[in-house]
Amino acid sequence: DHHAALAANPCLDELAARAISRPLVTHIYTADPSAHVFEGRLYIYPSHDIDGGAPFDDEGGHFGMQDYHVLRMDAPDADAIDCGLALHVRDVPWADRQMWAPDAATRDGRYYLYFPAKDPGGMFRIGVAIAERPEGPFRAEPEPIPGAYSIDPAVFEDEDGAHYLYFGGIWGGQLQKYRDNRHDLSHEEPVGADPALGPRVARLDAGMTTLAEPTREVVILDEAGHPLRADDHARRFFEGPWVHKHDGRYYLSYSTGNTHLLCYAIGDSPYGPFTYGGVILKPVVGWTTHHSICAFDGQWYLFYHDALHSGGVTHLRSAKCTVLHHESDGRIRTIDPYGG
């Protein structure tokens, strides 16, 4: 399918000319950018893409990342600085490989990096690592977070100071193997009119390293109030959950994976349910699409990635940033990444 996505974009030079934004950095490949304002500056926590030589497979084995670098920007239009190595898989006692999309949060002056990786048995777990500075270096907890699983952790801090951990991704992200927080290899992605799987959410404990409660499923509804159907691949959740709050409402955004869209849904609680709202970002060059949404100086920004800089190599991506608009009715304006 990644080859199909490339074939649909034969003229990369033309797309590059029309691209609405440039890579934040080009000396390394970065993806899945999770952006936050800490200490008045933008800190971006991306995956650090490398070509580890693993063959392409349906589980995403070619995404063989080994470490994290944090990027810092004084403002969205400023140059991004690579703050260097923040955490390496060799320093995570439980992790074996595939350091996928991370996120970060802060509480009481400490910084927490949340990250998925495969354990030696090939199961994705979600770990946490702690630092005194936003850029690290981070020291990993010896065990993964109990009760968390799959991939793509994202932490939302509500206005009352509570932090919520979201995670999940189907297919290579293994979420379809779980029901009610229990793993069973016989489970698959639901099909047809059955409800689609949602991401998971749980409030984090005040210590930020454990869940305060079992995770629950986040339900995404259609305009008629019904859960999105499993066969609604243009709208159903695939991976990359992110939550932001705008005008008192909660926005869940996510990737639809095999239909290559970033979508959003709106709700009145961090637990949902959320009602599908529309497309944030049309397909980018490369199979994956993954983002974050962050406000800086009263303006909202979308951080996303594409694979243009590598000539379309789907696991060598570059993080980017562009302005995101909420319309007066709360809808998010759709962005064409090559509409410039």
The residues annotated as belonging to the active site are 32, 239
Helix (H, G, I), strand (E, B) or coil at 288: coil
Nearer to ligand FUB, 63 or 303 (CB): 63
Tokens at 222, concatenated: 């259609």
CA-CA-CA-CA torsion for 94, 98, 104, 110, nearest 10 degrees? 30
Q: Write down the least CB distance from residue 172 to ligand FUB, Å.
A: 8
Cα–Cα distance, 10 to 129 (Å, whole number): 41
Q: Per rule CB under 6 A, is residue 306 in the interface with ligand FUB?
A: no
Among 101, 211, 284, 302, binds ligand FUB (CB under 6 A): 101
Q: Per rule CB under 6 A, is residue 33 in the interface with ligand FUB?
A: no
Q: Write down the least CB distance from residue 280 to ligand FUB, Å.
A: 15
Q: Write down the least CB distance from residue 94 to ligand FUB, Å.
A: 18
DSSP string of 207-272? TSSSBSS--EEPPEE-TTSPBPBTT-TTTS--EEEEEEEETTEEEEEEE-GGG--EEEEEESSTT-
x/- mask, ligand FUB, residues 126-155, rule CB under 6 A, reads -------------------------xx---
Q: Per rule CB under 6 A, is residue 254 in the interface with ligand FUB?
A: no
Among 5, 6, 24, 31, binds ligand FUB (CB under 6 A): 31
DSSP 8-state class, residue 15: H
User: Scanning residues 169 to 208, which ones bind ligand FUB (CB under 6 A)?
Assistant: 169
User: Scanning residues 229 to 248, which ones bind ligand FUB (CB under 6 A)?
Assistant: 239-240
Q: Write down the least CB distance from residue 249 to ligand FUB, Å.
A: 24
Q: At CA 232, angle to CA 228 and CA 233, rounded to 5?
A: 125
Nearer to ligand FUB, 237 or 275 (CB): 237
Q: In Å, how far from its chain's centre is CA 269?
A: 20
> What is the edge-to-edge ordering of all strands in the sheet holding 154-157?
154-157, 163-167, 200-203, 216-217
Count residues contacting ligand FUB (CB under 6 A)? 13
Q: Write down the least CB distance from residue 101 to ligand FUB, Å.
A: 4
Q: Per rule CB under 6 A, is residue 32 in the interface with ligand FUB?
A: yes
Nearer to ligand FUB, 47 or 174 (CB): 47
Q: Per rule CB under 6 A, is residue 100 in the interface with ligand FUB?
A: yes
In Å, what is the CA distance from 250 to each residue of 96, 132, 269, 335? Answer: 35, 29, 6, 20
Contact 96, 90 (CB under 8 A): no
Q: What's the residue count for the chain?
A: 340
Q: Write down the least CB distance from residue 286 to ligand FUB, Å.
A: 9
Contacts of 121 (CB under 8 A, 6+ apart): none
Q: Count CA atoms within 13 Å of residue 270 on its CB side.
A: 22
Nearer to ligand FUB, 31 or 265 (CB): 31
- The residue ranges that bind ligand FUB (CB under 6 A) are 31-32, 47, 63, 100-101, 151-152, 169, 239-240, 288, 290
